[in-house]
Chain A
Amino acid sequence: MEKGSLELNDVTVRFAGDSGDGMQLTGTQFTNTTALAGNDVSTLPDYPAEIRAPVGTTYGVSGFQLHFSNIDIQTPGDSPDVLVAMNPAALKVNLRDLKSGATIIINVNSFDTKNLRLAGYETNPVEDGSLTGYNVVQVPLSNLTSKALEGSGLSAKEIGRCKNFFALGMMYWLYSREVEPTTVWIESKFKNMPLLAEANKKVLMAGYYYGENTELFTTRYYVEPARLPDGMYRSISGNEATALGFITASVKSGLPLFLGSYPITPASDILHELSKYKNFGVRTFQAEDEIAGITAAIGAAFSGALAITTTSGPGLALKTESVGLAVMTEIPIVIIDVQRGGPSTGLPTKTEQSDLFQAVHGRNGECPVVVIAACTPNDCFNMAIEASRIALKYMVPVILLTDGYIANGAEPWKIPEPDEISKIDVKFKTEKEGFFPYLRDENLARPWAIPGTPGLEHRIGGLEKANITGNVSYDPENHEFMVRLRAQKVKNVENDIPELIVTGDENAELLVVGWGGTYGSITEAVNRSRKNGKKVAQAHFKYISPFPKNTMTILKRYKKILCPELNLGQLSQLLKSEYLVEVESFNKIQGLPFKSSEIEHKIESILGEK
């Protein structure tokens, strides 16, 4: 059959199925292949907290959305153009997100009475007309997979597990992708299971050829490579970028990297990543709990390591007292909070930005720390280095905030040349002459004299210390002095960070401010609004405690300020209380990132439709 070919600028695809269907893997493979093809890519994995929720139910549905394009894109796409639904539950959960007229590729074999009932369908949506308006493509995916693997020697269960590769192969054909990156991956992944390697490759190709031969697809799509800046690229997730950033900081500072951590979703991947790189001297310690994770890091920092601890909201809550100890002992550590939906256990696998107050304020006493936030998966690399630099230079704990969305999301990363990354200067104190544990340098940092250094034996701890000598002190004036000094030390960091940058319309009426992982959605919304003639500008905070020095000047420049956040308005409140400006808060607390259209509509509602 001769098929048509159509060029598209961008496509949003979502793979959805049971949490055991391998949707995350399918999505990741499609992402890597697409990145290799030179498109810009942004991804949104969305999976349940249960590892294997009951098969066929809506709460067991796992999804992976990716957006790829021939231009530089900022988000994983608001609404999918294509949904691959492996079962009725996947259809039910995802249908409402689709664009009108979207293509739905369903595994029709799974639409049986049992699965329909499990998904809560009374009648079959494929037959009852409820999918009118969509382009429904019914593929007997399970049967075709079984047929492809007849005589393969695999059990029915094993064969069933291969069907995601059929879907992947089919999608590769539909979007003119190469199968090779995935076949190479299969070969290495199943190196010791040649039977499975063969089967998965066979099914992948069967899906690909099915796409070519079936009459269900009349058109094949093509997305030109994006014109990204020159350089060498790879696809990277935020958690991977965070891990690589800290290894880079370790190399650049000449200090061993020590990670004390307790597994927690969605931060564990940083622990997994760093555990791989022991040949870099990376010291990963999986502690007995969150508190041991950070206190071991404090011990490691006391003895001369670049020490970090990784966690998510509930874990940061547990580490709170220890962060205070690091503030009091003026020990450099980095605490990474990959935020998730809260409070309490909340929504472990869903994203949110609701730990900002916890990071800035959540400790007993006057207890300032530096708080910075990464804004894209790539940016996690830079901010990990930045967090390390600040901690080591100022002898302070730094909290680095990321979130589930950018931590698990992936995008192309222009790989930096290591030689072009600045060194981090660290000097341990070794001279006995004039040494005092709480003596101050020009940044108010105290000297770092590590155990093993002769003549500099000293004691530090959580009790209030006299400035300079570091002796325990209950003196009232000293306490106030030290409280102010610790605050000033954090404040001084403002002299050492980039100013807040405004992009967009020079004479804008409205400034949209944000922080962290909402960067992509806000940027896309602002860009679209500007194309529609709206006078709007954007400023994104990566440094929150302290704020950049020019923050006041910028905020005062605009008549209106809008602050979209995935919380009830935490940055808004910080800005309002710090700068006495009016900020309109725009909130979404659904465990999901903003769609750029949601922010765009908000901008329009403020500036008025034209």
Chain B
Amino acid sequence: MADVNDVVKYTSKDFSSSQDVRWCPGCGDYSILAQMQRSSPDFGIKKENFVWISGIGCASRFPYYMDTYGFHGIHGRAVAIATGVKVNRPDLSVWVATGDGDLLSIGGNHFIHVCRRNVDLKIILFNNRIYGLTKGQYSPTSEKGKKTKSTPFGSIDFPFNPLSLAVGAGATFIARSLDRDPKHLQEMMKRAATHKGTAFIEVFQNCNIFNDGAFEILTEKDTKADNVLVLEQGKPMVFGKNNDKGIRLNGITPEVVNLSEGKYSINDLWVHDEFDADSTRAHIISRFAEKEGFPTPIGILKQEIKSTYDADFHEQIDNIKKTKGEGDLRKLLFTGNMWQVNNNN
């Protein structure tokens, strides 16, 4: 990673490319781009050491708008391309912009394997629960029963829960944020930037054309507090307009409790520990929103300090060079069972 000390002081403008942004007016992607451009100067990374990689989809146009090195790949393969960049060049800060179709449908295989390997990549999932660029088919995160162009009678697919998937696959930094919560989103980006290993941020992003209002209940002032739980390290899980609700863990079953009735106090609540070495609790948190009456958590579900694939990759090479010595081409070719042909003798 770049040396923090001699990094030039950047502004968000330094990260804006000359290209006109071509997302639909009102798209949640604009906010994600803005938050990234605003937070990037604070990462302490030289601009030339950023690489943005994407696949296909609305979200995947992202690299064109960041004035860094960028690669707009093919559908589903962003993570695999990014793995090649990072493994070849661990000195670079490699980011992936991807959507729910790109990462979880056609690119699902690469996603689970990058998490498993813990390659030091930052993956921002723009989850709008719909296919935008192909004009409105359901996606692997669309809710069951969703009526779209390809499911006029309602989808019969069960959706993926991206956070559960990331927990299961072994990602070492797992977070969620909202396009409509700029401060929180910037904070998540900064935290991801400093993490060593696969950092995954799911961003709920509104597609105002094909799936408008999908996350309204989580983003609008009058409903947000009752429906969103902001996870904070070392803090009890409290939510609700008047901070009157909380979550306690009863065995392995989470329960929503009311703090104003006298039965439970703040001391009974589950205290969030994103460094919890056992990912069982992170998994439980990832499924909150699927339970009746539970809030949707945002923030960092889990982080873990673990050796990264790219670091181990080069450490192995360095160690072998140490023990065997730097490769000598002549010795490599002239080896094994050899014999001399000399027709004069």
Contacts and interface: CB of A to CB of B under 8 A. Distances in A.
Do A and B assemble together?
yes
Interface of A: 32, 35-36, 38, 181, 225, 227-235, 244, 247-248, 251, 256, 258, 260, 277-283, 285, 287-289, 291-292, 295-305, 307, 321-322, 324-325, 329, 414-418, 451-463, 471-472
Nearest to A453: B48
Contacts of A288: 80, 109-110, 113
A233 B339 contact: yes
Given A278-B317, A418-B330, A295 B71 contact: no
Task: Output the residue of A283, A288, A457 with the most chain B CB within 10 A.
Answer: A457
Interface stretch (B84-92, B135-143, B231-239): B84-92
B48 A456 contact: yes
B23 interface: no
A244 B336 CA distance: 13
Contact of A329 (B67, B71, B91): B71
Contacts of A291: 77, 80
B81 A299 contact: yes
Given A247-B332, A292-B80, A451-B85, A279 B71 contact: no
Given A234-B335, A251-B329, A281-B327, A458 B80 contact: no
Contacts of A414: 341
A297 B83 CA distance: 9
Contacts of A471: 19
Contacts of A227: 343
B74 A283 contact: no
Interface string B324-345: 1111011011111111111110
B56 to A, nearest CB: 8
A279 B320 contact: yes
Contact of A287 (B49, B80, B329, B337): B80
Interface residues of B, number: 62
The 3 lowest CB-CB distance pairs between A and B, nearest first, are A461-B72, A299-B84, A296-B84
16 contacts: A225-B341, A234-B335, A251-B327, A282-B317, A285-B84, A285-B87, A291-B80, A296-B83, A300-B84, A300-B87, A304-B89, A324-B74, A329-B71, A414-B341, A418-B333, A452-B91
Contacts of A321: 74
B47 interface: yes
Interface in B275-300: none
Nearest to B335: A234
Task: Output the residue of A228, A230, A292, A307 with the most chain B CB within 10 A.
Answer: A292
Interface of B: 17, 19, 46-54, 56, 63-64, 67-74, 77, 80-89, 91-92, 109-110, 113, 313, 316-317, 320-321, 324-327, 329-330, 332-344
B278 to A, nearest CB: 26
B48 A457 contact: yes
Given A234-B336, A256-B88, A278-B316, A289 B109 contact: yes
Contacts of A244: 332-333
A38 B343 CA distance: 11
B123 to A, nearest CB: 14
A256 B82 CA distance: 17
Contacts of A258: 84, 87-88
A451 B69 contact: yes
A38 B341 contact: yes
B88 A279 contact: no
Nearest to B117: A288
B49 A451 contact: yes
